Amino acid sequence: MPLYTDDSIERLRQTVDMGELVGAKTELKRSGQQLMGICPFHDERSPSFSVDPVQKVFHCFGCGEGGDLFKFVQLTEGLNFREAVEVLSDRYGVTMELTEEDPQAAQRREKRDRLLELLERTTAFYVRNLWESPEAEEPRAYLASRGLDEQLLREFRVGYAPSAWDKVLVASRQAGYSEQELWDAGLTAKNQKGNVYDRFRRRITFPLCDSRGRVLGFGARAIGADQQPKYLNSSENVIFHKGRQVYGADLARAAAAKAGEVILCEGYTDVIALHQAGLRNTVGLMGTALTEDQVAELARMAPVVALALDADSAGQEAMIRAAKVAAGRKLELRVVPLLGGGDPADIVQNDGPDAIRELVAGSVPFVRFRVDRVLALSDLESAEGKDNAVAQLAPIIAPLPASAMRDELTELAASALGVGGSKLTEWMGRPREQPAPATTEPASQPRPPVIAQIDSGGRVERSFLVQCLAQREASQAVLAELDLETDLMTPAFRR
């Protein structure tokens, strides 16, 4: 990837008003040659944050953070250096020059720029159609029924693709774009006869953007009950890769960097509803299982991720998958307890903004969520059910180091099982004092043969497997936590 020239970076540096840039994040007051204010990077009451508007640098005498204007944007908006340069060049209208690139690279960049322009034009067309077209009365009514404000919908550039088969196709051709470019941008599809038509016709459109706010593709929701699928995304192409972006990252990045936490929801309307509730650090999954690239994007935004996924079984399983993908990263996972089975948008609409804010504030560590989930799904009235619960709890609690968290989880589980904490620790096969590496996904760490230590005679193993056969679907997550070669001591049960 070509670099920006030193001359263009210096021209951008001279153009940016440092006082204006920093003043958008924290109130500044002049003190001699400097500007002083409350540091945006740590909690303080007395101003210790200094800005030099001439040299265009900042320094906090409280926490020691400092750097130039590019570093400030990197820290406050969770960007790398190149992204910070691009954000500022867009904001201040400075054209950036690239170092020399080979002809093929230049051709690819020009093609990409054309597609981005086409997607930007199409976004504006969809937005205008949503708010001005008589045909869009139904989608407007739907969005209003979800309690979503027009101002915020416009900020997210939500639109509506008309029901005509070729409205975007015709308008784009008239603007000078080819049918191939429309296809490459993911705006068209083909029927069985090979005829090309507008891919998102008769759907509410949600632009999917990169960190600079450039539209890369769309997610679209059907309006009619006869439309399938309910949600349709842009096809994978040279600029859009569904597994790399999270919805709303461009609008949530600054708030996430300031809060030190990013909230992750499932749906587009969930994200908009939480922004409307004042939780501006919220992003969405775009209807896909969390990927390595998305985890990396979340980690760039904030060190803590609060999972506010739907309370149904699919949402619960998505949290387990998220932890597996995030394992090994310096990323703290927490879970927002969405009680009653509603999604975040429903909670905002039915119970008000304060309700969802309180739930987010009451998020629990992911390991606590796992323990609560095991206890909630287990039959704690029977000996077999308790044995089954212990078998699931052991790989969650036992690997934790000696800590207040481990003690709290042990006592919580022991109370639910009706035994003492020391007895549960004994059953789980690891002394409470012995430390072990903490991990988001304990299943990947070596552990003692849990079931065998509970009962080497095989009685518990037999009852455990009987429960798995009786509840095949529910047992899948349990079996995924076990290594049958080491956790089952009876050879016949390993087959």
Taken in order of first residue, the domains within the chain and their CATH numbers are 6-92 (3.90.580.10), 105-233 (3.90.980.10), 249-362 (3.40.1360.10), 380-494 (no CATH)
* Main-chain dihedrals φ then ψ at residue 476, nearest 5 degrees: -60, -45
**Residue range 111-153, pLDDT digits in tens:** 999 999 999 999 999 999 999 999 999 999 999 999 999 999 9
**Residue range 273-303, pLDDT digits in tens:** 999 999 999 999 886 678 888 988 898 888 8
pLDDT of residue 437: 41
pLDDT band at residue 432 under the 50/70/90 scheme: very low
- Pick the most confident of 113-122, 209-218, 455-464: 113-122
pLDDT of residue 318: 79
Strand-pair category, 261-265 with 282-284: parallel
In sequence order, the 6+-apart residues with CB closer than 8 A to the CB of 373 are 316
pLDDT of residue 234: 95
pLDDT reading at 460 higher than 60:
no
Q: Which segments of 352-495 does DSSP mark as H helices, in order? A: 353-361, 366-377, 383-397, 404-417, 421-428, 450-454, 459-470, 472-480, 484-487
pLDDT band at residue 454 under the 50/70/90 scheme: very low
pLDDT of residue 288: 66
User: Which range is least confidently modeled, 10-24, 91-105, 212-226, 309-323?
Assistant: 309-323
User: Which range is least confidently modeled, 86-90, 280-284, 483-487?
Assistant: 483-487
Q: Where are the beta strands (DSSP E) in 128-266?
A: 159-161, 188-190, 196-198, 203-209, 215-222, 231-233, 261-265
pLDDT reading at 2 higher than 90:
no
pLDDT band at residue 444 under the 50/70/90 scheme: very low
pLDDT of residue 292: 87
Strand-pair category, 57-60 with 49-52: antiparallel
Mean pLDDT, residues 181-203 taken together: 96
Residue scoring higher pLDDT (162 or 494): 162
pLDDT reading at 420 higher than 60:
yes
pLDDT of residue 325: 84
What percent of the chain shows pLDDT beyond 70? 85
pLDDT reading at 462 higher than 90:
no
Give the chain's largest Cα–Cα span: 82
pLDDT of residue 341: 65
pLDDT of residue 236: 92
Residues 153 and 123 sit within 8 Å (Cβ to Cβ): no
At 460, list the tokens. 């518990």
pLDDT of residue 453: 36
* Main-chain dihedrals φ then ψ at residue 115, nearest 5 degrees: -65, -40
pTM metric for this prediction: 0.74
What percent of the chain shows pLDDT beyond 90? 65
pLDDT of residue 106: 81
Look-up: residue for tokens 């304990």? Answer: 442
Residues 406 and 397 sit within 8 Å (Cβ to Cβ): yes
pLDDT band at residue 430 under the 50/70/90 scheme: very low
Helix axes 404-417, 366-377, angle to 10 degrees: 10
Q: Which segments of 45-192 does DSSP mark as H helices, in order? A: 69-77, 81-92, 103-132, 137-145, 150-155, 167-174, 179-184
Q: Distances from the Cα of 300 to the Cαs of 89, 296, 435, in angstroms? A: 21, 6, 30
**Residue range 58-73, pLDDT digits in tens:** 999 999 999 999 999 9
User: Which range is least confidently modeled, 232-241, 333-342, 486-495?
Assistant: 486-495
pLDDT of residue 471: 54
pLDDT band at residue 258 under the 50/70/90 scheme: confident
Task: Report the phi/psi class of residue 169: left, alpha or beta, with left for phi > 0 and alpha for psi in -120 to 50.
Answer: alpha
